[in-house]
């Protein structure tokens, strides 16, 4: 069910939520957090709502979407409430601010009256994010702040901003997309022979924040020289090779879907390692509300990575 409230106020939205609760049942009980989504109006909004609805099936929450409208328009707030089948396991409140209400400070003011009491707040910027999320008006309301450098107009610039302005509670979906890669590499090193890693090579397309992050993670966690090189194919992260005395451990994904794990003394294995959906990454990030220290270490480790110019060929 979708209820439109044109030219509305946050007080009117709250009253409508109470009315819906009394007439249709208590749909706000059991909500574990408030997810605030900051995006532009248009197709990006619906994609973000779909991802939030999918994640809410694992984490029932109230979703508040700040859809920034035209800044040159007259001041107006158009609200929309979605419940039932249109809202997954949550209720979705869409706030479209125009004119001065499209500014970040105004958006935070509109969100505050609609936050669930005594529940954590998570802020998510699915596309463009502020340079310093922790200092943003909405970011200051949240315990966790989720960005996505890969979805910004300039992923390299956005990733550098994440490194420069990191604060505890920040995270980025480029890091979450690496969970399965990190799990496979850790598992490969958890079987005999237990040998020290002497060096590592990471290859991926030139514009790939995830490739930068996994190189930083290896440099920080292993304390060895890590070389980040371009790959011949533009499939994001393509290869991680760990050098040790008995032979290399190599995890290669030439087609962006299936990876091949090779290691001494073990048969070659094929692993399903396709790029993760945004909804899966978002659901994973909502499982924790404390600072991600490993992500912070990976960001710091990027400064220790050396750069290679020769593209690395990944065997198909």
Domain covering 179-307: architecture: 2-Layer Sandwich (3.30)
| Cα–Cα dist 98/10, whole Å | 14
Q: Alpha carbon 85 to chain centroid distance? A: 25
Nearest to 275, CA basis, from 189, 160, 148, 156 = 148
Query: 47-82: per-residue pLDDT in tens?
Result: 999 999 999 889 889 999 999 877 778 889 999 999
Do 121 and 34 contact (CB within 8 A), yes or no? yes
Domain ranges of the chain: 2-147, 179-307
Query: 114-156: per-residue pLDDT in tens?
Result: 999 889 999 999 999 999 999 999 999 999 999 999 999 999 9
**Count of Cβ atoms closer than 10 Å to residue 144 Cβ:** 24
Ordered mean pLDDT values, 10 residues apiece, the chain (316 residues): 91 90 63 92 90 91 89 88 76 91 85 93 96 95 96 95 96 97 94 90 93 97 95 88 95 93 91 94 95 97 94 82
Nearest to 282, CA basis, from 167, 124, 155 = 124
Q: Sheet containing 237-243: which strands, arranged edge to edge? A: 269-272, 258-262, 249-252, 237-243, 199-204, 225-230, 306-307
The DSSP symbol for 112 reads G
193: preceding bond cis by omega (within 30 degrees): yes
What are the structure tokens assigned to 94, written together? 């869409």
Fold (CATH) for 2-147 = Rossmann fold (3.40.50)
pLDDT of the residue at 316: 72
pLDDT of the residue at 87: 65
Average pLDDT, the chain: 91
Q: Sheet containing 91-98: which strands, arranged edge to edge? A: 2-5, 76-82, 91-98, 61-68, 33-40, 121-124, 144-147, 170-172
């Amino acid at each position: 069910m979708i209820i439109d409230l044109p030219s509305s106020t946050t007080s009117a939205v709250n009253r409508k939520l109470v009315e819906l609760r009394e007439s249709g049942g208590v749909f706000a009980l059991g909500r574990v957090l408030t997810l605030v989504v900051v995006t532009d109006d248009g197709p990006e909004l619906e994609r973000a709502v779909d991802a939030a609805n999918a994640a809410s099936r694992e984490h029932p929450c109230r979703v508040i979407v700040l859809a920034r409208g035209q800044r040159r328009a007259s001041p107006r707030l158009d609200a929309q409430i979605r419940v039932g089948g249109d809202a997954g396991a949550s209720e979705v409140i869409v706030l479209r601010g125009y004119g001065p209400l499209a500014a970040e400070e105004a958006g935070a003011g509109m969100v505050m009256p609609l936050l669930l009491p005594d529940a954590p707040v998570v802020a998510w910027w699915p596309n463009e994010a502020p340079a310093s999320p922790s200092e943003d008006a909405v970011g200051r309301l949240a315990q966790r702040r989720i960005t996505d450098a890969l979805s910004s107009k300039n992923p390299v610039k956005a990733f550098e901003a994440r490194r420069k302005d990191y604060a505890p509670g920040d995270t980025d979906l480029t890091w979450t997309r690496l969970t399965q890669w990190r799990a496979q590499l850790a598992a490969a090193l958890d079987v005999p022979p237990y040998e020290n890693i002497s060096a590592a090579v990471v290859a991926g397309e030139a514009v790939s924040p995830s490739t930068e992050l996994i190189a930083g993670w290896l440099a920080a966690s292993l304390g060895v020289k890590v070389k980040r090189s371009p790959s011949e194919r533009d499939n994001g992260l393509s290869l991680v090779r760990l050098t040790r005395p008995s032979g290399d451990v190599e995890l290669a994904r030439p087609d962006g879907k299936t990876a091949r794990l090779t290691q001494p003394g073990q048969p070659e294995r094929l692993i399903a390692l396709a790029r993760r959906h945004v909804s899966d990454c978002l659901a994973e990030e909502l499982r924790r509300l404390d600072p991600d220290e490993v992500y912070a270490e990976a960001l710091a480790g990027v400064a220790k990575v050396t750069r290679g110019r020769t593209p690395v060929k990944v065997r198909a």
